[in-house]
Structure 1
Amino acid sequence: MSLFWRIFLLNAAVLITATLLLLGPVTVSTPVLLTEAIVLTVGLAAMLIANAALLRIGLAPLRRLARAMTTIDLLQPEPRLVAVGSGGTAELIRAFNAMIDRLEAERAASAAAALSAQEAERRRVSQELHDEVGQTLTAMLLELKQVARHAPEPIRAQLAGVQETTRDSLDEIRRIARRLRPGVLEELGLVSALKALTSEVTGHTDLTVEQHLAADLPVLGREAELVIYRVAQEALTNTVRHGKATAVGVNLEHRGGFVRLHVRDDGRGIGGAPEGSGIRGMRERALLIGAHLGVGPALGGGTEVRLTVPVGEAGGRP
């Protein structure tokens, strides 16, 4: 029975019952006696209370559905609503769940294509920086060295400063190229790539990095390793740029059929600030491999990022 007919018949039953009572044992005098007024008032209150209670019970699934519609976030999947209720209510909830399943599948497919294109573009830019800009700066260093060798002393000192600036620029170009395309990840694996990442952070900032990286990790797919690396990279980048932290810990372990990455700093935390594109990008990457990402305040202050990746047959949600 549809919601319309249930509400209609409910109200009809209440009105018919009231009419029968007025035509039967309950009568109203003119003027209305006090006892009759009390009976009518109590009866009306009872009908209103019964009507409100029955409507609240009948419309409860719709209220839950409306709340889910206003809070749903495709980047943070939640358990689906249970299709309870009679008539069209359960059908509406099932349709809503099917719509969310379809939207999540479409978003995952589009995000996978976008991230794949992004990684390809990063590789291309990294290669061009390394091959073209890097080689050009290297040639400039050689020419400056040759010119400085035959230059008089005052100019030689100036050329030495130019050489140092060019050498610093070359190092920065190489660092950017490594961030765009982590070659060590493809050549030496995830643990070595994370060690190189933390070494790079400590080499260019005053941040103290404490790392605990398990060496007995199971075999992960190339995509899963890239997601773990990019999440760690983004977490450390946020710590350096926004966290105002002095220390950060990076932990990677394999336990209970899951590989867990934990990055925690002692900075100012995220507070009530809305999630930026970096965190949402991490969530999109996590969804691609069925992982769970948690970002929030750490105990004692700071921010922590937790990525839980299912491995093998444990590929359910943690």
Structure 2
Amino acid sequence: MSSEKINIIIFVTITTVLILLLGFILILVIYLYQQRKLIHTQSITELELSHEKSLTTTQLEIQENLFRHISQEIHDNVGLTLSLVKLRLNTLDFSQMSVMKEQVFSSVNLLGESIENLRDISRSLNADIINNYGLIQAIHKEITRIEELSNINITLAIDGEPIYMDSQKELIIFRIIQESCNNILKHSGAKSASVNLKYTKQELVLSIQDGGKGFSMSDFSEKNYSSGAGIRNMTARSKMIRATMLVSSAPSKGTTLKFTIPI
């Protein structure tokens, strides 16, 4: 066999081996790419499922706290008044007409107060409050409602030009303010409080401050205060709108909650 034929055979053999090797490498690259793509897709799916589970848990916790809030409001503001009405009507003395008339008249007034309280609770819990009034007006109405039902004075300050946000986002901000005010009423012992909204083009800074008894930050933890002060609930709501939340307090110095909310 001539050397030229041998060279041709060697060349064809090497070329064939190289083509097969390149084909194998190409198949391997495609396989590895598909595997990485599959792993990435699975990772994204797992993250989405984890996020959905976390969001569902958060929503359930918020719903549970909301139901607890409704129950407490009805018990404190309506149940007590109706119990008093029942007591007065049960002690009516038909032999003393003037006294009986006064008891009936006062009972009617108390029933009217209970109906109005129920209406106020319904309005404050209805998500349409944001669509109907907007965030600022809804906060005004909520502060007025709280002041009428308690002996606390709450001031509202708006810095900057208010910027309209998604109604669901504004509703969550409104619920945070409701929760904060509810905590002030129940736990702070404060006679005054303030709500400040500072608008910039990039963010809304919400500050809620009370002049109550406060607490030591060295003893503070989300675990310790989640049930009593609603910190866990507000933290969950903050995460839903990608807001940061800071708590500062000191004994006899009151408490300040600061939420930085991206617009």
Contact in 2 for aligned 1:264/1:298 (Cα 8 Å): no
Aligned to 2:170: 225
Counterpart Cα distance in 1 of 2:188 and 2:65:
26
From 194, 198, 201, the counterpart of 2:143: 198
Gaps of 5+ in 1: 1-97, 138-143, 145-151, 312-318
Aligned to 1:287: 239
Q: Deviations over 1:125-183 (max 9, x none)?
A: 89xx9xxx9xxx9xxxxxx9xxxxxxx64532221122122122212222222332254
After TM superposition, give the deviation of residue 219 of structure 1 in Å: 2.1
Q: Deviations over 1:6-43 (max 9, x none)?
A: xxxxxxxxxxxxxxxxxxxxxxxxxxxxxxxxxxxxxx
Aligned to 1:179: 124
Indicate yes or no: 2:213 matched with 1:268: yes
**RMSD (Å), alpha carbons:** 3.7
SS at 1:308's partner residue?
strand
SS at 2:225's partner residue?
coil
Counterpart residue type for residue 248 of structure 1: A
Indicate yes or no: 2:185 matched with 1:240: yes
Counterpart Cα distance in 1 of 2:181 and 2:209:
9
Counterpart Cα distance in 1 of 2:185 and 2:252:
19
After TM superposition, give the deviation of residue 267 of structure 1 in Å: 0.8
Cα–Cα, structure 1 residues 299 and 216, in superposed 2: closer, same or farther, change >3 Å?
Answer: farther
Contact in 2 for aligned 1:260/1:309 (Cα 8 Å): yes
Contact in 1 for aligned 2:215/2:252 (Cα 8 Å): no
Contact in 1 for aligned 2:161/2:200 (Cα 8 Å): no
TM score, norm. by length of structure 2: 0.61
Counterpart Cα distance in 2 of 1:244 and 1:117:
26
Gaps of 5+ in 2: 1-43, 83-88, 90-96
Counterpart Cα distance in 1 of 2:143 and 2:125:
15
Contact in 1 for aligned 2:65/2:233 (Cα 8 Å): no
SS at 1:216's partner residue?
coil
Contact in 1 for aligned 2:147/2:154 (Cα 8 Å): yes
Counterpart residue type for residue 131 of structure 2: E
After TM superposition, give the deviation of residue 199 of structure 1 in Å: 1.3
After TM superposition, give the deviation of residue 111 of structure 1 in Å: 3.8
Counterpart Cα distance in 1 of 2:50 and 2:199:
28
Counterpart Cα distance in 2 of 1:184 and 1:167:
23
Counterpart Cα distance in 1 of 2:103 and 2:190:
38
After TM superposition, give the deviation of residue 210 of structure 1 in Å: 1.8
- Taking the TM superposition and a 5 Å limit, the aligned residue runs for 1:11-90 are none
Aligned to 1:301: 253
Counterpart residue type for residue 56 of structure 2: S
Q: Which has the higher contact order (CA 8 A, sep 6+)?
A: 2
Count of aligned pairs:
192
Indicate yes or no: 2:60 matched with 1:110: no
TM score, norm. by length of structure 1: 0.51
Aligned to 1:166: 111
Counterpart residue type for residue 264 of structure 1: Q
Counterpart Cα distance in 2 of 1:120 and 1:264:
22
Counterpart Cα distance in 2 of 1:174 and 1:213:
27
Q: Which moved more, 1:279-288 or 1:268-277?
A: 268-277
After TM superposition, give the deviation of residue 303 of structure 1 in Å: 0.5
Runs of 4+ in 1 over 4 A off after TM superposition: 100-104, 115-122
Contact in 2 for aligned 1:182/1:193 (Cα 8 Å): no
After TM superposition, give the deviation of residue 212 of structure 1 in Å: 0.3
Cα–Cα, structure 1 residues 217 and 255, in superposed 2: closer, same or farther, change >3 Å?
Answer: same
Cα–Cα, structure 1 residues 309 and 298, in superposed 2: closer, same or farther, change >3 Å?
Answer: farther
